[in-house]
Amino acid sequence: MPSRPTHSSTMPDLTSYELLAPQLSGGKDSAVTMAVFMETARAAGVEDRVLSYHSSLGVLEWPPSCWTAPACRTAC
C-alpha cells in the first residue's frame, strides 16, 4: 500500500486513547477505512488497542454486508 501524507494538525494522537473502536458497516468503504485505520494504529504503536465492531441492523441489513463484516474482522 502506498504511503500517505500525514498532517499532524488534523490527525488525532492515537496514543492518548485507551480504546480505539471503529464501527464497520461491512461494505467496501469500511474495508478501506479499517485498512487505513490499522496502518495508522500500527504506526502509532497502538494496534493492541483496536477493537472493531459491526452493529447488525437485523432484517434491514444490506445482504452482502453479512458476508463482508466477518472478512474485515479476520483480515484485521
| pLDDT 10s digits, 30-71 | 888 899 999 999 999 999 999 988 777 777 776 655 545 554
The predicted pLDDT at position 70 comes to 53
pTM of the model: 0.62
60 assigned to some structural domain: yes
Q: With respect to residue 48, please indicate whether it lies within any of the assigned structural domains.
A: yes
**43, 47, 42, 50: which is closest to 19 by C-alpha?**
50
**Considering the domain boundaries, does residue 46 fall inside one?**
yes
Q: Which residue has the higher pLDDT, 2 or 31?
A: 31
Is 19 a residue whose pLDDT tops 90?
yes
Number of compact structural domains in the chain: 1
The answer to whether residue 70 sits within a structural domain is no
74 falls within a domain: no
Q: Tell me, what's the pLDDT at 24?
A: 83
Q: Is residue 57 part of a domain?
A: yes
Arithmetic mean of pLDDT, 16-42 = 89
Confirm if 6 and 44 have CB atoms less than 8 A apart: no
| Domain encompassing residue 30 | 21-64
